[in-house]
Amino acid sequence: MRSKVNKRYTRRNSKLTGWRLFGIYSLLLIIAVPFIFPTWWMFTASLKPIEEVFAFPASLIPNDFQISNYAEVFRLQPFLRQYWNSMFIAIVVTIISVTISTMGGYAFARINFKWRSKLFVILLSALLMPAEVTLIPIFRLMVKSGLSDSFFPIILIPAFGAHAVVGLFLMRQFFLDFPAELEEAAEIDGLSRWRVFTKIALPLSGPALASLAIISFLYSWNLFLEPLVFLTEPNKYTLPVVLPQFTDTYGAPIFNVQLAATSLSVIPVMIVFVVAQRHFIRGITMTGIKS
Amino acid sequence: MRHWRTGLFMAAPVLLGFIFLVFYPVVSVIRDSFTSYNPLSGDAAFIGTDNYTRLIQDETALEVARNTLIFACILVPVNMALALFLAVLLNLHFKGRTTFRAIFFSPVIVSTVAWTIVWKYILQDDGPFNYFLSLGGVDGPNWLRDNPWPMISVVMVQVFKNLGMNMIFFLAALQGVPEEMYESSEIDGANRWQQFKKITLPFISPTILLVAILTIAGAFQVFAQVLLLTGGGPGLSTTVLSYYIFINAFQIFDLGYASALAVCLFVFVMGLTVAQWQIRTRWVFREV
């Protein structure tokens, strides 16, 4: 299907040249400024002494490299611990949500069970549910059961809540396109439905699983509202909760240190994005197409 | 049908998660909105529609509702128009287009918190943005303090953050438009703009609907940007509904009233979605 679409494009795909190409490049470069510029300022300001952060004229490259900003991050907060918290939570969330979303997505795509389409429409409503709406009762429940200041809600909500529905939706789209002949052959050979799933479908869904894993990891890594509401001890904080807290005693941000901490939280994600760009974009696209 | 047991079993974890983390909370937030629940005072009496009467008389809530609408009315068209424009450009064939796609997409993967912190620095009164304006002889305002700029700043920071997602949706849709349709229209003498209006837009209209639904729903949930960029200020000028719910629920712990506000947000988002779904037949030209 995809190759057919591409072939149709031969004529329109004739390469742009000359002034038109120049025009498009300049336009895109101008629009790209607010997309590239922030990352540049984040890295450079994180290496500047505080006087230079707001110096006039502003320096594109630090005049005076102050690596100690990064040491300061670890002195002001148990940052290593918080980094680990974020990592640990994201890994657990990813494992759980990939497992249950893949199973659910397969069931909704391939197995004709009772109320399937009705249940699917009801599930979809979760995609539009504002987090604030569901958070209040969950907060109440967690406080009542004494699980409030723990990782429990921070793992439970992204792993089993609305995000799991997104994952299910994504995997359902993937399995809908899956060739039925393979499965039918396996069933004739006497494999149970569950076996068909684990022995035939799963081994062939590597790329889709990779996309889903990336999306789940990022979702948890970037989650802010839930950890902000539930976690109260600095030792339990995740990165998004601690980043805004690099402030002086008056609550004003210490920008160079704060941006150093922010850089540390963004760098691994950026590296993975550059390496596995294809998976990121395909995963996002799969959630949108054909819905 | 003989596999229905396996099917339900496999879907069970997500279905149970949905019941406990989405369905039950929605029912329960509606119930709480008729109480005066406050964990600090330990109060949880049934007070009928008092929270809703209070809401209508609450002048802050009115201003918050107005801000929320302003926010959505600027964000949604700007985001969608720019995303579609970029998608059309990046669907052309030239060297480096995948690099540009990656650049416009990259903020999507960065956490909202990190993105907002960096922009807060850039938009400071003596920050880099005003420095660059001063090079062009422009004396920039304090983007986060001088009205109406704080609201525009929050909107634009959000637009840059999520634009890439919509751009990718549009790109995928554009790549599905069959080439023959353009060819035959060219024989009929249609120019590029007419082709865009008469062929491209109708063809990708289902994607436009999807993007509109997601962008509008997202516009009502903007929270971290407001909290970190402006703190809802100056005054109330950037306090939007989701942020106001957060303050009432988790800073004042007036959970009863916050629940009533949350019910409004819920009704708002669902109402808009259903409305868009209902009027889709007027402008969406095919089902996918």
Query: What are residue B155's DSSP bridge partners?
Result: none
Picking from B3, B14, B101, the nearest residue to A193 by CB comes out as B3
Instruction: Find the residue in A nearest to B95 (Cα).
Output: A15
At residue A279, the pLDDT reads 72
Residues 6+ apart with CB under 8 A from A193: A111, A187, B3, B6, B7
What's the DSSP call for residue A16?
Answer: P
Query: From the first residue on, what is the mean pLDDT of each consecutive set of 10 residues in chain A (291 residues)?
Result: 41 67 90 91 89 79 85 91 95 95 91 84 86 90 88 94 89 84 78 82 84 88 93 93 90 89 90 79 61 40
Residues 6+ apart with CB under 8 A from A194: B6, B10
Segment A124-183, tens digit of pLDDT: 888 888 888 899 999 988 988 888 889 999 999 999 998 899 899 888 888 888 777 877
Exposure string over B246-280, b if 16+ CB within 10 A, otherwise e = bbbbbeeebbbbbbbbbbbbbebbbebbeebeeeb
- Which of B 11-40 lie inside 8 A of A, CB atoms? 11, 13-18, 20-22, 24-26, 28-29, 32, 37, 39
Site from A13, A69, A116, A129 to mutate, B interface, most B CB atoms within 10 angstroms: A129
Segment B110-161, tens digit of pLDDT: 999 999 999 999 998 888 888 888 888 888 888 988 888 999 999 999 999 9
Q: Are the beta carbons of B113 and A39 closer than 8 angstroms?
A: no
Q: Give the DSSP letter string of A117-148.
A: HHHHHHHHGGGG--HHHHHHHHHHHHHHTT-T
User: For every residue of B219-270, which 3-state class applies, written as one string?
Assistant: HCCCCHHHHHHCCCCCCCCCCCHHHHHHHHHHHCCCHHHHHHHHHHHHHHHH
Shortest CA distance to B170 belongs to which of B198, B193, B203, B195?
B203
* A76 CB-contact burial (10 Å; exposed 0-12 / middle 13-18 / buried 19+): middle
Please list every residue in chain B whose beta carbon sits closer than 8 Å to the beta carbon of residue A187. Answer: none
| Rounded Cα gap, residues A196 and A185, in angstroms | 10
Q: Say if the Cβ atoms of B25 and A253 lie within 8 Å.
A: no
Site from A43, A52, A136, A230 to mutate, B interface, most B CB atoms within 10 angstroms: A136
**Between B1 and A261, whose confidence is greater?**
A261
At residue A207, the pLDDT reads 81
What's the helix, strand, coil split of chain A in %, to 5?
75, 0, 25
At residue B287, the pLDDT reads 57
Segment A4-13, tens digit of pLDDT: 444 444 445 5
At residue B179, the pLDDT reads 80
| Rounded Cα gap, residues A254 and B233, in angstroms | 21
Please list every residue in chain A whose beta carbon sits closer than 8 Å to the beta carbon of residue B172. Answer: 285, 288-289
Q: Are the beta carbons of A260 and A73 closer than 8 angstroms?
A: yes
Please list every residue in chain B whose beta carbon sits closer than 8 Å to the beta carbon of residue A270. Answer: 106, 109-110
| Rounded Cα gap, residues B240 and B70, in angstroms | 9
Please list every residue in chain B whose beta carbon sits closer than 8 Å to the beta carbon of residue A19. Answer: none
What's the DSSP call for residue B23?
Answer: I
Segment B196-221, tens digit of pLDDT: 888 888 888 888 988 898 899 889 98
* Residue found by looking up tokens 């962008």 in the block: B215
Shortest CA distance to A225 belongs to which of A111, A139, A101, A97?
A139
What's the helix, strand, coil split of chain B in %, to 5?
75, 0, 25
Instruction: Find the residue in A nearest to B250 (Cα).
Output: A229
Please list every residue in chain A whose beta carbon sits closer than 8 Å to the beta carbon of residue B92. Answer: 16, 24
- Half-sphere exposure (Cβ direction) of B286: Cα atoms closer than 13 Å: 10
Q: Output the six-digit token pair for B181.
A: 């349709």
The average pLDDT across B181-199 equals 81
Instruction: Find the residue in A nearest to B124 (Cα).
Output: A54
Q: How many helices (H) and strands (E) does chain A have?
A: 15, 0
| Rounded Cα gap, residues B88 and B250, in angstroms | 43
Q: Is the pTM of this model over 0.90?
A: no
Query: What are residue A247's DSSP bridge partners?
Result: A253
At residue B116, the pLDDT reads 94
Q: Are the beta carbons of B84 and B67 closer than 8 angstroms?
A: no
